[in-house]
Amino acid sequence: MNTLSPGLLLGLLLIVAACSAEAPSNGDASMFDDSNPFYAPSTLPLEAPDFEAISDAHYEPALMAGMERQMAEVEAIAENPEPPTFENTIVALERTGALLTRVQQVFYNMTSAHTNEKIQQIQADMAPRLAEHTDNIRLNADLFARVQTLYEQREALALDEASAKLLRDEYRAFVRAGALLNDEQQQRIREINAELSSLSTEFQEQLLAVTQERAVLVADEDALAGLSADRIAAARAAAEERGHEGQYLLSITNTTRVPVLSSLEDRAVRQQVWEASAHRAIGEDGGIDTRPLVRRLAALRAERAQLLGYDTFAHFVLEPQTAEHPADALAMLTDLIPAVRANTEREAALIQEQMRADGIDDAVQPWDWEYYAERVREAEYDVDQQEVRPYFELNRVLQDGVFYTMNRLYGISFEERFDLPVYHEDVRVFDVLDHDGEQLGLFYADYFARESKRGGAWMSSFVGQSHLLDKKPVVVNVLNIPKPAAGEPALISFDNVTTLFHEMGHGVHGLFSDTRYPSQAMTSVPRDFVEFPSTFEEDWALHPEVLANYAIHHETGERIPEALLDRIIAARDFNQGFETQEYLAATLLDMAWHTLTPDALPDDVLAFEQEALAQHGLDYAPVPPRYKSPYFAHIFSGGYAANYYAYIWSEVLAADAFAYLKEQGGLTRANGDRYRAAVLSRGGSREAMELYQDFRGQEPAVEPLLRRRGLDTSVEAGP
């Protein structure tokens, strides 16, 4: 569930990519004039993008002009004959790049949410230029001298807390970019950054292409036994869109496991779907192979880290995070493994029993796990997903679940509007009003999967909040819920219900932002803190009051029976061994890649992956990593490199915070307002763990996490 905030945009310039490390010659800022909708801030409410006016042709000249304009602003600061002050240097830097930010916030949303060949080509052409632009700012010696002078005088400046942190962060950003290196080293840093930017977008584009390459086409509807009628209709519609009349298309979009695996009765089809997912991007049958990109990205990151004086890329990445050191993150992860493995083995035994009851004597395979996990869930808890899904209609979940909870906790309301242009017909727009009726911001909801959208779910923004710039937030949540056939209701899984709540957690983190400086606004916090507010909101999805309000049968209008509700709540702990182990495997794989030194890079990507899992006792075939290296977008194109551990690190905070608020009365405005004031409104204006400890009154405990995941806490932790 990725986020993209104004404070992350500069970092994004280093991870967007192109197909060549050498900047292309096309693109001309002189083509930028007042006919371009990015020329001035949008005149729509809160500067919302005018998607009716924006065309693909507008992006490149606007990006070029944005870089040119920002460099002029930066050079004016660097060459200012006046002695450096906080206002004429640090605050002045905060004001630069308005045009570039304006176009980037729209463009990079489109590269993920609604891309096409033209957008991909622009992204490829612009990436090395943008990487160079970032280097030109961070490696500007005169500018750094001013920042360094202020940093050395920081005690005498008498800055407020947010300003003092901004100065510290600005200085550190320059140093981490290579400002203290010699000319030769800086030149190599520039070369590495350009190539990294190229390769990471190439990786992103390859995975988008793989989504189409690896989709499974099924000719016979009987082979889809177990799928609901609406899912079969959606598969038929997807096949028709690809020109396969009378057939059925099962898409492969995100994690190793695929949602339909929990329902498909035909074991051979399940195997086909799982293998299409797990074996993607390895050049099978002459298809796309991302493994060379994986090796080169890891090599460049390792080299760059050592140039900057760090042992490994993970050491570089974790320095500004709350974990601070790879050893601390690894200790938390490995301590969970014994309890997780014990739970997974118990789940496997129950699954094996169900398979034998079906007359299958084989060992459990990864394509069996989710199907039989659902059968166990039905048997143990009498919960059938086909019985449950009719109670989870998308719009009702959104209105009477997610929005209802936000109102109960924070007093805010969402009012849909239809006058603002959107980038796709499926996108909806809402005014977000505070408890006193004042408009907080705008919320865009883009929930249905399509071929122009990358897999996963995320929050981003079209406009960032800042009192300095007098801007309110315009936020977007993006999911990949299968779109129902025309005229059919959008009945969703409980996983999708949880994801709606999760992404709204990111959403309110942006909408409640109340900071002066744009680089500290919204979700501009450490990666291993940013998933805390989103994960915190997930648990309200199962709060009895909330669930009873939105879990209503889409045909009969009846509320979900209390007995079924009780079974759903009881059943949520089942399969948490699997859920946690597949995540831990991916996290430790991420750490394995990014704790490599340049001289230790493997020749064989898949062999290295297997060795890394075996090292931690997670090489268990029925539970593969959530993402395997060739399609691990989070770490090779999505900004979570050496940071994928952040989800469970943040979950420790979320589980502890939720348990604490339950003790304080649960779903109340008093609790929500306190959390909003202490955490959600502050962005990155204060050190993240200080925010948490002020809210909670103490450091987080890990026990609520174990209880949240239903893990056996009696199993001893690892060494």
Active site residues: 503
Q: How far apart are CA 478 and CA 113, in angstroms?
A: 7
Q: How far apart are CA 653 and CA 689, in angstroms?
A: 10
Quick one: which of 586, 480, 477 has its CA closest to 537? 477
Residue 214 main-chain phi, psi, to 5 deg: -100, 0
- Mapped onto helix, strand or coil, the DSSP state of residue 473 is coil
Pull the structure tokens for residue 216: 């499974």
DSSP assignment string, 655-703: HHHHHHHHHTTSS-HHHHHHHIIIIITTTTSS-HHHHHHHHHSSPPPSH
Question: Residue 67's closest CA among 88, 22, 26, 97?
Answer: 97
Q: CA-based diameter of the chain, in Å?
A: 83
Backbone angles phi, psi at 274, to 5 degrees: -65, -45
- CA atoms within 13 Å, Cβ hemisphere of 92: 19
CB 146 within 8 A of CB 89: yes
Can you tell me whether residue 47 is helix, strand or coil? helix
How many helices and strands in the chain, by DSSP H and E? 28, 8
Listed in sequence order, the residues at least 6 apart from 511 whose beta carbon sits closer than 8 Å to its beta carbon are 412, 432, 440, 441, 443, 473, 475
The neighbour count for residue 289, using CB atoms within 10 Å, is 17
Quick check: 127 and 111 in contact, CB under 8 A?
no
Taking the C-alpha atoms of residue 598 and residue 604, their distance in angstroms, rounded to an integer, is 15
Give, as one character, the DSSP assignment of residue 542.
G
Tokens for 358?
């079906």
**CA 457 → CA 39, 231, 489, 499, 534, distances in Å?**
30, 20, 21, 8, 12
* Helix, strand, coil distribution of the chain in percent, nearest 5: 60, 5, 35
Q: How far apart (Å, rounded) are the C-alpha atoms in residues 39 and 61?
A: 10
Cα separation values, 101 from 59, 375, 528, Å: 12, 50, 24
Give the C-alpha separation, 261 to 370, whole Å: 6
Instruction: State how far the Cα of 233 lies from the Cα of 235, in Å rounded to an integer.
Output: 5
Say which residue the tokens 């309301």 belong to: 413
Please count the residues of the chain: 719
Alpha-carbon span 171 to 156, nearest angstrom: 16
- The 3-state secondary structure of 218-230 reads ECCHHHHCCCCHH
Cα three-residue angle 447-451-457, rounded to 5 degrees: 35
Q: Work out the end-to-end distance of the chain between its first and last CA atoms, rounded to an integer number of angstroms.
A: 31
612: Cβ–Cβ under 8 A, 6 or more apart, which residues? 588, 589, 592
Coil, strand, or helix at residue 475? strand
Residue with tokens 């090292």: 615
Residues linked to residue 414 through DSSP beta bridges, in sequence order = 432
CB contact at 8 A, 86 and 424: no
Q: Which H/E stretch holds residue 429?
A: strand 428-433
